[in-house]
Structure 1
């Protein structure tokens, strides 16, 4: 299984700490986030990881080197300008027909191997790992049409599917990514839907954290102790 780790962002929500350390190197116990991901990818059957880097790329390359210490083959694709979360894929050479894409700041107990096999069995153009989330409104919510109140719900609850930032991609979708400039995964998904491509969801019920803030990081440390 070939895997791409997206680790080129600045992690601006974790400023000022991310000024000196890229977010994938933030520690959870005695391991950086990205090292935990690599361990999981290896256990899921990954044999090659391509790290797409930009911001503070030298630190990441110095830490992970060629991947031998992690039991993997690691190579790097460096962007000279921010390309978003889909743009870097267009720059990677030697991609197989299907490959896994993971944001480098993900912490999850998702079974990457099962996700990949589900994608292959479904013959999808793209598979998006998703998790059901619930939000609770603190206010009464009204629906208004032409100035007239037509419905009212007091502090309603909304359920929705959240993208986990983890995908399996068929190589043929790369033709929809521009050669230059920023292009994100939501842009690619929307483009594929407009073209009638087969985009499916894979439900994850396991733990999942998107490390955006220091409070997210502390919460992940508490609940993902098995990876320390």
Structure 2
């Protein structure tokens, strides 16, 4: 029950909030940081070991989380000297990771059952399992197709539906075994590599609450709705602080 949390990004899209705080520490509601909610959730689901991959303002994350004991967790750190993207940090810590583990972004707000995701991943036998969520995108224009100078179809302001990655993955050691240490490597590259090798990732489809705190409008929405969703996000035994 080990999870690696990617918490080293600069959070460029969330500026100016991230000019003084790393994105995982921006406050949600009146009492919590995003990373704090994630750690409380992981502990409640039975996880005991957490590795935090840090870079931008990483000293603030170290100061806030410490050794993890106040969350009931054992926390260690991997400090990226250069940005290694979303998967690259794993290559230098392979020796201390179990055969199956969780990897997630440090800015995810969700009521996903992390333990069930990891258990489902192990049972699936896939090298990688991706937690997915359906998003709907409204196109504010009439969409048409044309061929040979003639319109062949037209749809007025369609709504498109996609399954997107939630930024939470079940990973098996073999999925990251063959890459050199220090190589920047993203989740997208890993998925494409596995597809080329004929080892397709599994999908863990989720329809609960999920919000990627990546843009100011998403962050504002999370704060606006936090009191509605707080009981879904936080373990029942967590006392609400005033």
TM-score relative to the length of structure 1: 0.95
CA RMSD of aligned residues (A): 1.4
CA contact (8 A) 1:176 1:188 kept: no
- The 3 A distance-change label for structure 1 pair 154 and 10 is same
Which runs of structure 1 show a deviation greater than 4 angstroms over 4 or more consecutive aligned residues? Answer: none
Partner of 1:11: 11
| CA distance in structure 2 between the partners assigned to 1:176 and 1:186 by the alignment | 16
Partner of 1:66: 67
| CA distance in structure 2 between the partners assigned to 1:202 and 1:140 by the alignment | 33
How many residue pairs were aligned? 228
Partner of 1:160: 162
Bigger shift: residues 215-224 or 43-52: 215-224
2:112 to 94, 105, 110: 110
| CA distance in structure 1 between the partners assigned to 2:226 and 2:50 by the alignment | 23
Q: Which runs of 5+ in 2 are unaligned?
A: 235-239
TM-score relative to the length of structure 2: 0.89
SS in 1 for 2:98: coil
Partner of 1:222: 224
Deviations 1:110-161 (A, max 9, x none): 1111111111111111100001111111111112234432222121121110
Q: Which runs of 5+ in 1 are unaligned?
A: none
Deviation at 1:191, TM superposition (A): 0.8
CA contact (8 A) 1:44 1:113 kept: yes
Bigger shift: residues 78-87 or 205-214: 205-214
| CA distance in structure 1 between the partners assigned to 2:71 and 2:164 by the alignment | 30
| CA distance in structure 1 between the partners assigned to 2:150 and 2:197 by the alignment | 38
CA contact (8 A) 2:126 2:202 kept: yes
Alignment of 1:72-87 (within 5 A): 72-87=73-88
CA contact (8 A) 1:86 1:177 kept: no
SS in 2 for 1:180: coil
SS in 1 for 2:222: helix
